[in-house]
């Protein structure tokens, strides 16, 4: 999970009021999602060429990375 350093932990717990237990639950969901993603890749996307998979994954990663920016700038409030 991007941004899980000590500065982000402080921001999550003190500014956003997330509990450490909630953050642990998020890490668990992240790990399960990673495993599910591996199964989906092996089942459906293994035959696609690398360049296409890499491009799609990069675009999704950038789009999802902006969700952290939304939290930090408090646009969600």
Assess if residue 14 is contained within a domain: yes
Q: Which domain holds residue 49?
A: 6-73
Tens-digit pLDDT profile for residues 17-41:
899 999 999 999 999 999 999 999 8
Task: Tell me the average pLDDT across 50-65.
Answer: 91
For residue 61, CA distances in Å to 46, 48, 65 come to 19, 19, 6
Assess if residue 19 is contained within a domain: yes
Cβ-based burial of 74 (10 A; exposed 0-12, middle 13-18, buried ≥19)? exposed
Provide the mean pLDDT of the chain: 87
Assess if residue 18 is contained within a domain: yes
Assess if residue 59 is contained within a domain: yes
Assess if residue 1 is contained within a domain: no
Q: Total structural domains in the chain? A: 1
Assess if residue 28 is contained within a domain: yes
Q: How far apart are CA 77 and CA 70, in angstroms?
A: 9
């Amino acid at each position: 999970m991007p941004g899980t350093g000590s500065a982000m932990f402080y921001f999550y717990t003190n500014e956003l009021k997330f509990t450490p237990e909630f953050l642990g639950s998020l890490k668990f969901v992240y790990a399960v999602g990673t495993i599910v993603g591996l199964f989906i890749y092996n089942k459906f996307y293994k035959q696609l060429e690398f360049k296409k998979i890499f491009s799609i994954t990069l675009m999704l990663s950038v789009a999802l990375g902006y969700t952290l920016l939304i939290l930090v700038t408090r646009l969600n409030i």
